[in-house]
Amino acid sequence: MANDQIKKADNGTYYFRANLGFDHSTGKRIQKYRSGYKTKKEAKEEYAKLVLQFASQSLPTEQKRIPFGTFIEDTYLPWYQTQVKESTFENRAGTVRKHFSCFYEKFTDAIEPIDIQNWQLALIRAGYSPNYVRVTQGMLSVAFDRAVILGITERNPSRMVGNVRGQKPLVDFWTLEEFEKVLSKLYKGDYYEHYLFISLLFLFMSGMRLGEASALLWSDIDFTTGLCSITKTLYYHNQSDYKFTKPKTRAAIRSIYLDEDTLSELAAWRNVQRVVIPDCEFVLSYNGLPTTKTRLPRAMKKLADLAGVHRVRVHDLRHSHASLLINMGESPLLLKERLGHEKIQTTLGTYGHLYPNTNQAVAKKLTGILNYSEPKTSIANYTSNQHTADYHRA
């Protein structure tokens, strides 16, 4: 991983040592050292460029036969890190190393379609869902695509085999009644419980993603108009390493109106928060730092058990908001805009099944809608049709 290779020198500049695979004529690892970069970002970019340049060089055929593990660690992952957001890379790099390692000792061009099929079946037998296997194999296909582009192999065995059939996941959520039971277990007189209360309430009533809500600052909320501006998301690695990043899509940058009850609760929380942390900018914070990925899930498990409701994930509070709006009769288009979906198909594909008795309601609305008068004799003169003549003669 590029960040592990890049170091800071005593003089404040950055350097790295790039592992570029093996010289198969000698069996020795090929390494290149570069230094003197003013910023870590500059060093990271040069690191990735060097790796790609080396990998794309025209090598003798016998030298292109490199182990899949060498290709993944020294060529593919450093390139992939330059293509996606930092949080995405961290999440997927672990999956790559966990599930691709069974191929690491094989030469990249020697991996056969039967190897991929057996790998698919092994993952399913291990209990992984078809959707998880689909996503994981999708990453494997992308890796082989890169190997083909770089001339390391001539074919992509993953795409030759094809992916497993996915299953449409059903969203889970808390109903309004279930959520009310959860809130009733939180005492706002306790500072930390008040923080949990406002965090869960805000996610349930706004439908925002956790990363969006974690990045929300008090300056993003206009308490006069009720307008909440969503323009960023939060990348959180640890307490000393977090930053704002751009949303994945343009549609995720949006403004939504908050209801008066939520605004009132937010104003009350801001007053309490300022007593403890006067200069805190983050809305969902009890210690001056943004909310972490693990804090709310732990609290939700405990609260669900106390309230006697089923457990859900933090992201399911977003689904809960959507379900609430659907039950209130709101349209898919409104959901799309409020949730920040790029396409209406995403909204319909995710929440279409939650619309209750839609067909029945339409049928009731159609009943009695037509009003016409039937003529006493044929005007269009179709009574002479040869197939119906016997009927009219009877």
Window from 14-28, 83-97, 332-346 with minimum mean pLDDT: 14-28
Name the segment(s) of the chain with CATH classification 1.10.150.130.
2-161
Residue 350: predicted pLDDT: 78
**pLDDT surpasses 50 at 176:** yes
| Each residue's pLDDT tens digit, 3-32 | 567 888 888 898 888 877 666 555 566 778
Helix, strand and coil in the chain, % to nearest 5: 55, 10, 35
**pLDDT surpasses 90 at 375:** no
- Work out the angle between the directed axes of helices 295-307 and 191-206 (0-180°, nearest 10): 90
Name the segment(s) of the chain with CATH classification 1.10.443.10.
176-354
Q: Measured between alpha carbons, how far is 121 from 116 in angstroms, rounded to an integer? A: 9
**pLDDT surpasses 60 at 61:** no
| Each residue's pLDDT tens digit, 214-225 | 999 999 999 999
Query: How much is the average pLDDT of 103-131?
Result: 93
Chain-centroid distance, C-alpha 360 = 34
Strand partners of residue 34: 16
**pLDDT surpasses 50 at 330:** yes
Q: Measured between alpha carbons, how far is 106 from 114 in angstroms, rounded to an integer? A: 14
Residue 24: predicted pLDDT: 52
Q: Measured between alpha carbons, how far is 217 from 220 in angstroms, rounded to an integer? A: 5
Complete DSSP assignment for 322-355: HHHHHHTT--HHHHHHHHT-S-HHHHHHHHGGGS
Which numeric CATH code is attached to 2-161?
A: 1.10.150.130
Q: Measured between alpha carbons, how far is 115 from 127 in angstroms, rounded to an integer? A: 19
What single-letter DSSP state applies at residue 76? I
* Mean of the per-residue pLDDT values of the chain: 86
Residue 361: predicted pLDDT: 67
Query: How much is the average pLDDT of 372-388?
Result: 70
Buried b (16+ CB within 10 A) or exposed e, 39-54: ebeebbebbbebbbeb
Stated pTM of the model: 0.65
What single-letter DSSP state applies at residue 105? T
What fold does the segment set 176-354 form as a domain?
hpI Integrase; Chain A (1.10.443)
